[in-house]
């Protein structure tokens, strides 16, 4: 008797339902579509950025169930049922998330392209309860490249937001 192998999908486009920033998104995509491309090209949420598409630069960082991950290194279809947070979902209406406000105040960005990833990574860093000294922040923010070189200001922003949090 053949064993039931559970649901299978693809290779052609299939319905995939994602919960992004608390909203349900019904997409029709191939299984090979990364979470990053699903956000940018199918869900009209281009705030998440594509920098390297190989998990090195961190521009595509999103939160999945509160944890930071590289959305370019994971498939959208793997995250049905998960809670996905992107930069578009971080502020509470017009009220900025304290981390966003800290990045603005400390000028923690220049061109802005790595910024959504930096901010989400920093939000996760606080949730991970990392020590908030300079060395620790630098270490745990090193999955996000900022080519403009705003690192010092990023560290200042994370430290400031961290103090508020405590």
Partner 1 sequence: MIPTKFEYAKPSSLDEAFALLAEHGPDAKLLAGGHSLIPMMKLRLAEPEMLIDLAGIPGLTGITVRDGRVSIGAMTKHATLAASEELRQHAPVLFEAANALGDPQVRNRGTIGGALANGDPGCDYAAVMLALDATFTVAGKGGTREEAASSFMVGMFETTLSPEEVLVGVSFAAAPASAYVKYAHPASGYPLVGAAVVLSMNGDAISEARVGVTGVGDHAFRAGSVEKALAGVRPSDRTALEGACAGSAAGVDVRSEPAAGAGYRSAMCDVYVSRAVLAATRG
Partner 2 sequence: MNLVGAPIDRVDGRRKITGTARYAAETPLPGLTYAVMVESTIPAGTIAAVDAAAATRASGVIAVLTYENAPKVEQHKVAGMTDRNLPLLQDRIVRYDRQPVAVVVADTFERATDAASLVRIRYDTSVPALSLAHGSGYHPEHSHGDEPSVYERGNVDAAFAGADVKIDRTYTTPVEHHNPMEPHATVATWDGDVLTVYDATQGVFGTRSRLAVAFGIPPANVRVVCPFVGGGFGSKGSAWAHTVLAAMAARAVKRPVKLVLARPQMFGSVGYRPATIQRVTLGAKRDGTLVSTLHEVRSQTSIFDEFVEPSAELTKMLYAVPNVRTINTVVPLNAATPTFMRAPGESSGSFALESAMDELAYAVGLDPLEVRLRNHADSDPSKQLPFSSKSLRECYSVGAERFGWSRRVPRARSMRDGGLLVGMGVASATYPTNRSAASALVRLSSDGTAHVFAGTQDLGTGAYTVFSQVAAEELGIPVSSVRFELGDTNFPMGPVSGGSQTTASVGNAVSVAARSARDRAIGLALGDPQSSLHGHDADAIDVRDGRIFLRDRPDVGDTYAAILGRHPQGEIEERGDARPGDEKTAFSMHAFGAQFAEVRVDPELGTVRVVKMVGAFASGRILNAKTARSQYLGGMVWGLSMALHEITRTDARSGRIMNANLADYLVPVNKDVPSDFEAYIVPEDDPNVNPLGVKGIGEIGIVGAAAAIANAVYHATGTRVRDLPIQPEKLV
Give contact residues for partner 1 (rule: CB under 8 A). Answer: 2-11, 30-32, 34, 53-56, 58, 61, 67-70, 73-75, 77-78, 121, 124-125, 128, 140, 142-143
DSSP string, 93-144: TTB--HHHHHHHHTT--SS-SSHHHHHHHHHHHHHTT---SHHHHHHHTTTS
Token readout for 118 is 């930096």
Which of these segments, 1-9, 63-71, 77-85, 144-152, binds partner 2 (CB under 8 A)? 144-152
68 binds, among partner 1, partner 2, none (CB under 5 to 8 A by kind): partner 1
Residue 86 touches which of partner 1, partner 2, none (Cβ within 5-8 Å per kind): partner 2
Min separation Cβ 48 and partner 1, Å: 13
- Residues 65-124 binding partner 2 (CB under 8 A) are 86-88, 90-91, 96, 100, 103-105, 107, 109-116, 119
**Least distance (Å) from partner 1 to the CB of residue 31?**
4
The pairing of beta strand 14-20 with beta strand 83-85:
parallel
CA nearest neighbour of 59 among 165, 156, 148: 148
What does the chain come to in residues?
Answer: 166
Rounded Cα distance between 49 and 61, Å, is: 8
Contact criterion met (CB below 8 Å) for 46 and 39:
yes
Q: Which residues contact partner 2 by CB under 8 A?
A: 30, 32-33, 37, 40-41, 44-54, 56-57, 59, 86-88, 90-91, 96, 100, 103-105, 107, 109-116, 119, 134-135, 137-139, 141-155
């Amino acid at each position: 008797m053949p064993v039931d192998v559970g649901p299978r999908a693809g290779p052609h486009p299939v319905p995939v339902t994602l919960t992004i920033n608390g909203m349900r998104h019904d997409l029709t995509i191939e299984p090979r579509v990364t979470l990053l491309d699903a956000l940018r090209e199918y869900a009209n949420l281009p705030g998440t950025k594509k920098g390297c598409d190989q998990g090195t630069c961190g521009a595509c960082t999103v939160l999945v169930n509160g944890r930071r991950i590289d959305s370019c290194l994971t498939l959208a279809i793997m995250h049905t049922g998960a809670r996905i947070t992107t930069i578009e979902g971080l502020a509470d209406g017009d009220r900025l998330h304290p981390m966003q406000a800290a990045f603005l105040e400390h000028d923690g960005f220049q061109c802005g392209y790595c910024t959504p990833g930096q901010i989400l990574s920093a939000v996760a860093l606080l949730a991970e309860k990392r020590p908030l000294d300079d060395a620790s922040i630098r270490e745990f923010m090193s999955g996000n490249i900022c080519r403009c070189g705003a690192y010092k200001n990023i560290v200042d922003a994370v430290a400031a937001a961290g103090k508020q949090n405590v």
